[in-house]
Structures are given as C-alpha cells and as structure tokens.
Structure 1
Amino acid sequence: MFLIYIMGMFSYIFSYYYKDIRVVTVHIITVLWFTTLLTLPQLIPSLMLNNYSIRSFDAEEISATQGAYNPIMTSAYLFPTIFQNNANYQGEEIDKDFSYVETYMYMGIVSITMALLGTILLKNKKLDRLGSLTLILFIILNYSTYIPFLDIDAIPGISLFRYWTRISFLMLFYMAFVGSYFIDTLAKRSMDNISFSWKKTLIIGTTFLALVGLNWNHAVTQRLIQDLPSYISTSYYYKEWYSIVFVTVASLIFGTIIYFRKKTSPIFPIMALFFLLLTVTDLKYFSSEIIDIRTDDIEDLSKADYDPKYKNTRIILEANEIENNESLYYDFW
C-alpha cells in the first residue's frame, strides 16, 4: 500500500514538470508497471491465502471499515497510553464493553506541533498540493465509517483491505515533510521572508469539527466523550506529558518574542536543533517502555522445526495455541 501511494504521488509531482501529455502518459504507465511488478510477490500469495483463510468464510464478516477511527479517537494520537494499561498500548481494549483492536498510535505532541506550524508556514505550491492529497486520502480511509454517504466497502480495490492504524503512515508522511519545512525555515537564521497562511489549518480544523458534529450522537462518540477524560487524568504519564507540552509551548513563546523583535538571529538555528532533540525525547520516552514489553520474550524464542514441504509457502495452522492463524513460513525462520 505504501509503495503504491509513493509511486502515485511521484507520478503526480512528475506531471508538473512535463506538460506534454504523451510524456506524462508514458511515465504513468511505466510507474504502474513497476508498481504492479514490485507488489506481486506479496499480492499473489495474499490472494491465494484468502481462498483458504477462515476469514473468507461467511461465518466471519470482514469489512474495510473495521478499525476506522471515531473522530474523538484522534486524541490517541496526542496522548501516550491513553488506555492506561501498557498491555493495551495498541488499543486492544478500552474496557470489556468497548474494543478498538490495533488502533492506537501516539504520534508525539511535539511532532504534531511542528507539523501544525509547518502547515501554517508552507508556501511551496507543489508540497501544498501533495500535502492536501495526502490528508484527503488519510481522512477518507481513517474515518471511513464516520463519513456520511461514504461506503468504501463498495469501492473496488480499496475494499480489499482493512485499514486500522496502517493508514496512519499517510499522516506521518505529511507530518514529516511539513514539520521538516518548519525546522528548515527556523534553521535559516533569517525569517524576513516567511509568510503565514492559516487557510489550510482552518480547513483541517473545520473538517475535523464537522466530523465530530455529524457523529455527535453516535454511541461510540458518547462513550469516548464520557470515558476518555478519566483515562487521561489517571494515566501515570500525565505529569511527564504535560511537562513536554509546557517546554514546547514555552519555547515557542520565547521564539515568537525574538521573531517580533528581530527577524534575524543566531538563536533560530539553535531552536531548530532544540525542537529536533525535543521531538526525539518525546517519542523515545513514551515508546521505550512499551517496546520493551512487546519485545521482552524475543530472546526466549527458538527456531521451530517444520515439514520441508511447507518451505516458503503460506499455510493454515490447524492445531495448538495458534489454531486457525494464517502463517507464512520461510526457511531462515
């Protein structure tokens, strides 16, 4: 999916450099050919697996909209371990009555702040168009269940996948290049020629608020509004997270004061480096514990024996603790 997206965006950008429709057409056809060729090693076994998977039976209905984010769930991007228990860090459950399997992702409050500032400062038209396309696709796939009149299960190709947080790479991709744009702007010492554009930021905010409003009476929305404040307020990351927020806001206020007093300053590059270090600290601190938990049993694993006839093939396991799981066995395992 990621490869297809990157290839598509590359074709989109390429079309701006060449106005000759024949050149653009040949390029797009070439990109489609190589995209297909590169994805076949994963696509063909997956289609074969689907024919034998228990999920292909009528007993289990699989929908492309499963795992779609309720707009209120976006708060999980902002606050670490919003479900309190590290065992549920990936969103396995909020409580016994409400499950959100595999849907949790903390993107970093500093990263999100840098991306927001980059969006306000961004004036490169090509990057702006690329960002807009990325965000539109992210919103459609991430909130699909909660977008009125949208049925992605009826769209060929798109309906083949369940998206969960897998589609979050679109938001991360957007955050990476607009956040980098902000850091690059800050690192140039002189901020004489920068301009502020609030248009896209207002559109993004309005779109999100509209999604919340249109789904306000949804049972999941009401449950989240009722329960999430208590989860945040009792999290043991509560103080640490607010400390990061305080340092970020204080640094931005300090930088803003300098900007209005002096457009050129050696402090700006220092601040750019500081924000990079703060971003790494934010993500590393709030992810290190859960990474340790998720990987603590790896050292105890050993290579399993298997029948040679299963070498490099996908099979359906029919016994033991992982009965009915689909697995792909490689010789080097």
Structure 2
Amino acid sequence: MLNSKIEEIKIELSKVIVGQNEMIDALLIGLFTNGHILLEGVPGLAKTTTVKALADIINLNFKRVQFTPDLLPSDIIGAQIYDMKTGEFKIKKGPIFTNLLLADEINRAPAKVQSALLEVMQERQVTIAEDSFKVDSPFLVLATQNPIEQEGAYTLPEAQLDRFMFKIVVGYNTKEEEFEIAKRVTSTQSISLNKVLDKETLSLIKEEIAKVHIDEELEKYIVDIVCATREPKEYGLEEIADYIQFGASPRATIDMFKAVKAMAYIRGNDYVSPIDIALVVKAILRHRIILSYEAEAMQKTTDELIQKIMEKIDIP
C-alpha cells in the first residue's frame, strides 16, 4: 500500500500549517475520491494557505479565483471572444480549466456566479457558447467561505451545496498551536515544500482505496443514517422530526461510501470500521440537511441533529 505517501504529504503540510488535522484529512479524501470541499471559517485560519501548499506538494495545476460581488460567470468558465484579425470567434478558457480550483470566499459572489460552477462540479465539463469542454483529471473545487453572518456574504444555493462532498468548519487553533504559528511567522527561516505525489501515484492510490473492504452491514448502516435525516420518525427520532425540513440527498450516501473507504485508507487500514463513518458523517451531512423555521428559532444546528441520529441508530 502507498499509505507512506500520505504521511509524507502531512509532514510537508506541517511545515506551513499548524494543527487543522480535520481540514487536511478532508482535503486528502477529496483528492483521492474526486470530491469537492467547502471550508467555512473566519478569515485568517490558513484555509487558503493549506490549499496552496497542497497544490505545491502534489504537483498539480492550481488556480485561484477571488469571488467578489461584481464577478461574472465568464470570469470563471471563460467566454467566446471575437478576433479582429481573423474575423472569427474564439474560445478563451477561464481559470476553471485546472486540476485544483480554489474558489476563495465563494459566498461573496451572487448566486448567478456560484451556479457557474454547478455543471463542472458534477459533469466535469464546461459549456461555453455552443461547445462543451472536458476539464483535466483530477479536478477538484476547494471553496472557502466566511460565516454567513459576516457582512457582504450570500448563502450558497442548496443545489450547489449538495455537490460538495464535505463541509468542514474550520475552528481556531489551540493556544499552543497559535504560539507556534506566531513564532514561525516572525522567523526569518525560508520554507520550501517538496513534491511528494504525482498524477501516476495519485491514480495508484485511488485504485487501492477502491479495493478497501466495506462490510454489507456497514453499508446498510450508512444508508440508515442518511434515510434517518429524511424520515426521522421511522427511526424513533420524533424529537427532531419537526426540526428537519429536507433531509440529505442520495448524493450524500454515495459520498459517504467513497469517503469512509478513503478515511480507512488514510488511517492505515484496508477495511472500513464504524470509527471511519463517525469521523466523516458530520462533514458529509451538515450542509445537506435543511432546517425548519422551528429549528432556527430554537437555535438548533445540523451537527446536533446528526449527533442525535448517530446516538439512536445501532452500530452493527
């Protein structure tokens, strides 16, 4: 197995990132399973720095788009332009044609621009004028957003949220980690990152992850968890039934099947255990459950509801 490569990646990332292990694991799982990642947190928590460092380490093409209120869809996907010399229209491709696309502060742009990503996130292709173009493989959207309550932010459409495998809530570092960050920033020592992964090795890792064993009982357990978000009463969860307006989509089940295999692989196992499910379940479901007005009035969070579901459903 190529698990040693994962440790090498983490060692390189630790040169520039202190802590934030959940975010790093999520980025690796996304990379290994072609799953898009949404990172939410206040500014200054190294979200952008982590993505840039990951792109350096794995030797993939990387582009960054800063989302702003005046951004246009053509600024992301490209446009058809008229060439005065030849008298013909030509396609000018946008930054979306890359391996890793960092959509920085994605919720600063209105829905029209955010929806420009919908086709490419699902179909891995872009339509410009009348032509469709495939994007390179691997292709991964890594989006960052500031919490909605911050000024000048828009909520992401539910259809787009569903296309993100994970929503990772990036929290503050511990006091010890922050002390280490401050020491590093004020140090004059330059940091160079080694490239430890290429496309060929990445493909081999994906093949190994596909072979990770998951027991049928655990597969049914995953399906039960997702179905409980839609029909809580059927699982004896009457207490949360009024708090959920819409549950998770089938895409959540598919992403869970992929993510638990990758999590088991990252942890050095060739089989999935209930621990792997517990480690990814909130990140996969938290942005896919639509809360009711009653839940918002009671200040309930999707994480709380997911926890209730996990406590109720028996582990096989």
Q: TM-score, normalised by structure 1?
A: 0.21
Higher helix share: 1
